Structure 1
Amino acid sequence: MTEEFIKGMIQWFKAGKNLPRRYAWEIILGACSHFVKEESLVNLDLQEGVTCDVIGDVHGQFYDLLNLYSLTGIPSENHCLLMNGDLVDRGSWSIEVILTAFAFKWLYPTRMFINRGNHEAKDMNRTYGFEGEAKHKHGEQTYKLFAHVFTTLPLATLVSATKAPTKTSTTMILSPEGLKRYFVVHGGLFSKDGVTLDDVRKIPRIGRQPGQDGLMSDLLWTDPQTLPGRGPSKRGVGIAFGPDVTKRWCTLNGVTSIIRSHEVRQDGYAVEHDGLCTTVFSAPNYVDQVGNKGAFIRIDAEGDQKYFQFEATPHPPMKPMAYAQGGLASLMM
């Protein structure tokens, strides 16, 4: 794998062509060879001069992804990308999105990181388009390969600063070493108190689907709520967690704040729970209907964050959910 190959592959995709199946399989397996070596909680320590861009849901919006990569830059020695789940489904270029991301993972395994989202799962892919798209473009065996490799994706990433913050407050939560660190996860926190980072690290994930409950399901499915405590989820899976739940968990684990995705935000991002929970969403004008901006978050070696917004990019005339069963489905999931 080379940068030149990836650039050529992107041009091939923009011309409306499918990658030869053999190449697709090599990219999927090449990325998988690195995912299986990672723990369910990946540690990413940002050394001086290194930055990390956290990218939220992309949902098969390939042309928006290309615009996004032009803003973030591709992975490099001094720059990491962390894609926080839901790369596929809904948008009708999910194959192009996932093969591009997997190619970067294969080429730059210590600079490209991908968390699993609730849409990297069989039941969601069956309903929201990725299964149909994968079979249409590359055949059933390719879809089955993707379905397995999705289970190898890590469930969360702990992004840690390595330089002490220049500005602190009495309310800021720092790691035991006095540094900022961020828990990046697709969905959110847990249906019970007391879960530790080590508990997340030890979750057995390979070969497993998220299910309806348990730690993996919580990580991929839960959402923040404004009220304290825990409440029922509007999705019918997982729970909603309040600002008090977030503060207790961050304090217990020495986490400065949580960065999660999983929900549209009109400005592309929203800082919630008294600054302890930030939602970032990177699919602008979601499913060609919502009119939202996309965003990404840049973190540096001191743990400082900057927010970048971007608008939707024109794309060829293909509707969202083109390969889904039953056409355009609910936006809720």
Structure 2
Amino acid sequence: MITWFKDGKAIAKRYVWEIVMAAHDIFIKEESLVDVEIPEGVTCDVIGDVHGQFYDVLHLYKLTGPPSEKHFVLMNGDLVDRGSWSIEVILLAFAYKWLYPEYMYINRGNHEAKDMNRTYGFEGEAKHKHGEQAYKLFAHVFTTMPLATLLSASKPPSSKNAAILSPDGRRRFFIVHGGLFSKDGVTLDDIRKLDRVGRQPGQEGLMCELLWTDPQEMPGRGPSKRGVGIAFGPDVTKSWCTLNGVTGVIRSHEVRQNGYEIEHDGLCTTVFSAPNYVDQSGNKGAFIRIDAEGNREYTQFDAVPHPPMKPMAYLQGGLSSLMMM
């Protein structure tokens, strides 16, 4: 399938439906917060936004390696929109999820949503390549995707430091596309119990905030530059991590020129995996590798050439100026 896609070909519609329905049957059994433990001798790579940049995703998978028994992959939302190969990206990710459900994990992003897909290209691309019914199927399956992942080390850390640990002394990371909340006291169980299936993120509430919020340098909470969600400060992050025994929050949702940025006194890390975003940002991409002790390693990479197709080619009017969404 990868070779077929690289050659600019589309797979038959019946295969598209089979892959998407297979992913659906796995997602629907997962909770809104998925618990993943990294066994000894295993690593897990956390990948941020890739936004339909298929050729960069292929390069990224060469760096990470495919999902396997010794190597987990966690994609942290915004697989689609903007880039004009969103179908290829999402089908590849869903195929890996079908093949390796215990090694491949995918969180929902704010772009796995109907209103964003209409505005930023995925709806037009899906209909152009595989028809309206295929788009409707994708739109529903997006609502079954988990909202966050709790990634736990299986071994206590060998280096003793001041990190916040789980109740049993292990590092664990809350992986979510957007970030934290407009109110204090939200627990991991509150997130687990969210009823997500068939629902869009909306403009408020926990699901919206999980997919839309951003960190800010100032303490406390502030308005979002996006007009949706909020901005949360380092004190909010520390309080939430302490309450829930979480070593750190890993989130995506924003371009970082170096591909990643460690913020909030090390408790919040942003990772973004679409290099030279929409062919004009000039940023690096990055991913984070986490081992069985919860140690983190950061890898940066540059964009690779792709066929001559502009971002959002399937959207009438072309590239939107609303870059921050």
Matching residue of 1:4: none
CA contact (8 A) 1:135 1:142 kept: yes
1:258 to 249, 263, 267: 249
Any residues of structure 2 matched to 1:47-58 within 5 Å, and which?
A: 47-58=39-50
CA distance in 2, matches of 1:214, 1:325: 32
Post-superposition shift, 1:68? 0.1
Q: Is the 8 A contact 1:190 1:222 kept in 2?
A: yes
In the alignment, structure 1 segments of 5+ residues that lack a partner are 1-8
Query: Residue 38 of structure 1 aligns to a residue in which SS?
Result: coil
Aligned to 1:125: 117
Amino acid in the other structure paired with 1:57: D
Matching of residue 283 in structure 1 with residue 274 in structure 2: yes
Contact 1:128–1:325 (CA<8 Å) still a contact in 2? no
CA–CA distance in 1 between the matches of 2:95 and 2:163? 38
Instruction: Show CA shifts across 1:272-302 (max 9, x none).
Output: 0000000000000000000000000000000
Q: Deviations over 1:250-274 (max 9, x none)?
A: 0000000000000000000000000
Amino acid at match of 2:253: H
How far apart, in 2, do the equivalents of 1:104 and 1:142 lie? Answer: 19
Runs of 4+, deviation exceeding 6 Å = none
CA RMSD of aligned residues (A): 0.5
Identify the residue that residue 180 of structure 2 maps to in structure 1: 189
Question: Are 2:205 and 1:214 aligned?
Answer: yes
The question of 1:73 aligning with 2:65 is answered yes
Letter of the structure 1 residue corresponding to residue 43 of structure 2: T
- Rounded Cα–Cα distance in structure 1 between residues aligned with 2:191 and 2:117: 25
Q: For residue 241 of structure 1, what is the aligned residue in structure 2?
A: 232
Distance (Å, rounded) in 1 between the aligned partners of 2:217 and 2:43: 31
Residue 310 of structure 1, aligned match among 293, 301, 309:
301
- Shift of the alpha carbon at 1:44? 0.3
CA offset at residue 50 of structure 1?
A: 1.0
Work out the CA distance in 2 between the residues paired with 1:262 and 1:161. 24
Find the aligned partners of 2:160 and 2:224 in 1 and give their Cα distance.
34
Q: Deviations along 1:153-195, whole A, 9 cap, x unmatched?
A: 00000000010101122x3100000000000000000010000
Residue 35 of structure 2 corresponds to residue 39 of structure 1: no
Q: Distance in 1 between matches of 2:101 and 2:28?
A: 12
User: Which residue number in structure 2 is paired with residue 301 of structure 1?
Assistant: 292
Which of 90, 100, 108 is residue 108 of structure 1 equivalent to? Answer: 100
- Write the letter of the residue equivalent to 2:6: K
In the alignment, the residues of structure 2 paired with residue 284 and residue 327 of structure 1 have an alpha-carbon distance, to the nearest angstrom, of 20
Provide the C-alpha distance between the structure 1 equivalents of 2:317 and 2:212, rounded to a whole number of angstroms: 23
Once residues 251 and 24 of structure 1 are traced to their aligned partners in structure 2, the CA distance between those partners, rounded to angstroms, is 43
Q: TM-score, normalised by structure 2?
A: 0.99
Structure 2 segments unaligned to the other structure (5+ residues): none
Do the aligned residues in 2 keep the contact of 1:56 with 1:85 (CA within 8 Å)?
A: yes
Alignment length (residue pairs):
324
Per-residue deviation, residues 44-81 of structure 1 (Å, max 9, x unmatched): 00110111000000000000000000000000111100
> 1:165 corresponds to which residue?
157
Matched residue, 1:324: 315
Query: In the aligned structure 2, how far is the partner of 1:325 from the partner of 1:182?
Result: 40
From 162, 167, 177, give the equivalent of 2:168.
177
Q: Is the 8 A contact 1:127 1:325 kept in 2?
A: no
Q: Is the 8 A contact 1:229 1:245 kept in 2?
A: yes
Pick the aligned partner of 1:232 from 223, 229, 239: 223
Contact kept in structure 2, 1:210 and 1:217, CA below 8 Å:
yes
Task: Provide the TM-score with structure 1 as the length reference.
Answer: 0.97
Following superposition, the deviation at residue 125 of structure 1 comes to 0.1
Q: CA deviation at 1:201?
A: 0.3
The residue matched to 1:151 in structure 2 has which SS? Answer: helix
3-state SS of 2:261 partner: strand
